[in-house]
Structure 1
């Protein structure tokens, strides 16, 4: 049984070389022509070239997206600091779909472990892992029901759990009795999250109406996300759940125009920073990078399927409600969270 915490927190609104040169040389060796394309670089605390292990991380999106990628990058920074002198980290960000495979191959030729972020990289990482059987790979956020390969571990942050809690909170906070979900792309993990948003809403309030989910097609396009949100608000919803990165800013703009609100996340901010946010679901994506690095350093890494979230020994999903929610609301959410942690509610 994982450690259980009360659910709802409320908030008012070579060493003679310079370190930078070592990072640049490591980056150039790993990526060659991709440097200009993607902007490769090590973390601020990246280790020197004589480190025991090398880890390369593919971030398809921006490291400052206020979403999945930034949450993961925070874990990357923690891992780089913790294992400085033992593991040398390098990364690429904002890589286009057409270049995923090339970036992964470049990493695989000079790394002990290659990590890819997001289900959008699933096909590419599986293909490259098969080509490099002696290199360890880990995918974070791929299909929850996928099977690992001999050298490919699958780490599931269980965003669907967060979406379930977001749906429950949305239903309990809705004054109109109608809620909706907006996702960045119609990927298996996001579709599953949309389903669990609806399940959570119905579990909290069987009478709530849940509109059909909308998929923007881009996690970072705020303008398109705003249009999707305006459509949902126009159809009667007053609270939205979401899995977006920079795109959630468009939802906040739409909420402000429509007297609605949304549940933010996976990174929580002070509630006073934007009145459009009724709360935040928190998911620590970066904890999975730390997990992989810890096991690599300890020589205990294995190609396994690991489900994080509330069922992990150190839960990495939580929810924050803004303002002063009714005690009945917090009690209901606490009960649902306990059931997820106990395995009574399954989201995958």
Structure 2
């Protein structure tokens, strides 16, 4: 079994962190579920990738940090990060045995979360990036970030920004949520320019920098000058390729606009951290509910939004109208 990093935090302070070979024996702090007072909260969080990936995982970790600031000593968290897919069941089992809520930061955790949740019916499970599934266990909530929605907007922006009439999308694992986002990215681009060419590649790995770099170079060789993506550490490979060839990127999760280094021309906000904090707030209020819950543009700018860094008034107006039409249901996109 590959090693994993397991940390326990209290009130935003790291109180224990250890690397263990066996997830079943890893415990970096007090058994919070067994010893915490009844008004305390114990939450386990699985971050499959790196919490410093400048993307999805880092946004999720920021949500944990914000929640710890909000709740102080009342909140105890146990975090496992950088986990191999083969070890995911065991990592979630470790968290479920020690906490009253387990949060999986990423749709790639969903299958394992469903499996483990059935063994711990008293624990609340939350999948950030979850899909609506008919076989969802009764103690699991799936929070849909609605990436398809915001990637439709990103595709529209890419079409407006492209000078070559060719754009690209790089996804990690070829799972429904990632495929749907790529499809809607293309649909958004064609909404603006029916003739635009969209090159789509899946690397099979959210973290592989080399594969993302190669996929982006291949798209650039076919004329792509604007790139969008759903990868984690793989983002570094996309950045490398764009820098080498003088092309540009539409980023995600955080503000990417930098006038001194205009590698990124636009960015979307996908509130992964917002949803982590939301789940913990619902646990605190006693209002947490299992089942599917959509977020996206309708939940406001902390949940989802888009900005072109130096967009013209016409571009900005068009983006705002597309966002409104998505919320109003005038533009239909895939779920997930």
TM over 0.5: yes
Q: Secondary structure of the residue that 2:118 maps to in structure 1?
A: helix
Q: Given that residues 41 and 92 in structure 1 are in contact (C-alpha distance below 8 angstroms), is that contact kept between their aligned partners in structure 2?
A: no
Match of 1:74 among 62, 66, 70: 62
Match of 2:188 among 183, 200, 218: 200
Q: TM-score, normalised by structure 2?
A: 0.87
Once the two structures are TM-superposed, the CA of residue 75 in structure 1 deviates from its matched residue by 0.5
Match of 1:321 among 308, 311, 319: 308
Match of 2:327 in 1: 341
Structure 2 unmatched runs, 5+: 1-9
CA–CA distance in structure 2, aligned partners of residues 181 and 146 of structure 1: 29
Once the two structures are superposed, the pairs formed by residues 91-240 of structure 1 within 5 Å of their partners are 91-144=79-132, 148-211=136-199, 213-240=200-227
Once the two structures are TM-superposed, the CA of residue 275 in structure 1 deviates from its matched residue by 2.4
**CA deviations over 1:22-77 (Å, ceiling 9, x no partner):** 9439999x965336xxxx689xxxxx954622110111111101110000110111
Once the two structures are TM-superposed, the CA of residue 110 in structure 1 deviates from its matched residue by 1.9
Once the two structures are superposed, the pairs formed by residues 239-278 of structure 1 within 5 Å of their partners are 239-272=226-259, 274-278=261-265
Q: TM-score, normalised by structure 1?
A: 0.84
CA–CA distance in structure 1, aligned partners of residues 115 and 235 of structure 2: 32
Q: Secondary structure of the residue that 1:279 maps to in structure 2?
A: strand
CA–CA distance in structure 1, aligned partners of residues 312 and 301 of structure 2: 28
Residues 22, 238 of structure 1: CA spacing in aligned structure 2 closer, same or farther, 3 A cutoff?
closer
**Count of residues in correspondence between the two structures:** 319
Q: Pairwise CA RMSD of aligned residues?
A: 2.7
Q: Given that residues 210 and 234 in structure 2 are in contact (C-alpha distance below 8 angstroms), is that contact kept between their aligned partners in structure 1?
A: yes
CA–CA distance in structure 1, aligned partners of residues 241 and 316 of structure 2: 27
Structure 1 unmatched runs, 5+: 1-17, 43-47
2:293 pairs with 1:306: yes
**CA deviations over 1:157-180 (Å, ceiling 9, x no partner):** 112222111111100111111111
Residues 268, 311 of structure 1: CA spacing in aligned structure 2 closer, same or farther, 3 A cutoff?
same
Higher share in strand: 2
Match of 1:57 in 2: 45
Q: Given that residues 131 and 292 in structure 2 are in contact (C-alpha distance below 8 angstroms), is that contact kept between their aligned partners in structure 1?
A: no
CA–CA distance in structure 2, aligned partners of residues 146 and 27 of structure 1: 36
- Higher RCO (CA-CA < 8 Å; seq separation 6+): 1
